[in-house]
Amino acid sequence: MIELNRKTRLRILISCVAILLFYTVLQSNWYEIKGEGEFTMGPPKESNFTVTYDIEPDSEDGSFKLGRATPFINWMSTRDSDSNQTSPPGGSDSGDETESKATDYTRYGIKVMGVLLICSLIGRIFYEQKHSLKIAFVIWMVGALLFSVGIPLSLGMDNGDDLSEGETPIEEPTPESEEFPFFSITSDMDLIFGGVQFNFNASGYDSGLLTDEEISNLSHAPPQKGDVGYDEFVAFEGSFSLKPSKGFHYWLMIPLFWLIEIDFKSLKKRLNL
C-alpha cells in the first residue's frame, strides 16, 4: 500500500476541489446583462419591464418580462400621433444568424485556462517545482480577467454596430421634440462587484395624447397637479447592469482552498511571531 505524506494528500484534495469547482463553472452562467425599468408618471404608470441576457459556457440566452402590462398596452393603443411610434421593448431579431466570434474565443480561452489550471495543480502532486503554485495563480488570474474584462469587451466587438447606433440606455436616441415636448434624459454610472451599472431617468409630455392648443400651453417639466398636460406627462426610471454571474464566483473560490497547504506554524517562526 502506497503511503502518502501530508503535503501530497493536501495537494490531491486541492486538485479534487479545483476539478469540482471548474465543473460547476461549466454548468453555470458566466455573465449577466440586465435591464430594469418602471414608468413612474403618466398613462403607463406602474408598468415595468425586465430584460436579461445571460452569457453561458456554450450559448447566450435572453428573456423579456413585462409587469403590470395593462397600463402600458392601453397607453400604446390609445396614442394619437402623426409620427412613427417606437415599438415596445422586445427581443432581438431572431433572424440574425451571425455568430459571436469574439465571445466564442473568450469562452474557449476560459475553458483552456481551467484545463491548464487543473493540470498545473495535478502536476504538483507528482513533481516538486519551486514556482508551480505561482504559475497556477497566474493561470487563474488570466481566467479571472477573461471573465471580468474579456467577456464584456468581446460582446462590444460582436455588437459594435448596434452600440454605434445608440442602442444602449446611456446613448438612447432622443425622440423628436414634436413627439415628446420637453423631453429630457439623465444618467449616471455606479461600479458594482465585478461590473458596472448605469442608472437613467427619462421624461416628457406625450404629444399623441394632447391637442395642439394644449401643447402650446405646456409648461416646463415636471408639471404640477392641475397643470396642462399633467396626466400626459410620462416619466421613466431604469437601470442597466453588466456583471459576471455565478460561474465567475465559483472561479474566484478556487485559490481559497490553496490556503490549507500553508504551514502556519512554520510561517510564524519565519516571521518571528
Q: For position 169, what pLDDT does the model report?
A: 43
Q: What is the C-alpha separation between 100 and 103, in angstroms, rounded? A: 5
Question: Minimum mean pLDDT among 32-41, 121-130, 160-169, 237-246: which range?
Answer: 160-169
Q: What are the pLDDT digits (tens) for 141-166?
A: 999 999 988 988 888 887 765 544 44
3-state class percentages of the chain: helix first, strand second, coil last, to nearest 5: 45, 20, 35
* Maximum average pLDDT range among 50-64, 71-85, 88-102, 182-196: 50-64
Q: For position 179, what pLDDT does the model report?
A: 75
Q: Which of 24, 260, 17 is nearest to 121 (CA)?
A: 17
Q: 64 and 54 in contact (C-beta within 8 Å)?
A: no
Q: What are the pLDDT digits (tens) for 11-52?
A: 899 999 999 999 999 999 999 999 999 999 888 888 999 999
User: Measured on CA atoms in the order 120, 121, 122, 127, is the torsion positive or negative?
Assistant: positive
Higher pLDDT, 150 or 260: 150
Q: Is the pLDDT of residue 95 over 80?
A: no
pLDDT, mean of residues 198-225: 83
| Residue tagged 459571436 (cell numbers) | 100
Q: Give the three-class secondary structure for 32.
A: strand
Q: Which residues contact 84 (CB under 8 A, 6 or more apart)?
A: none
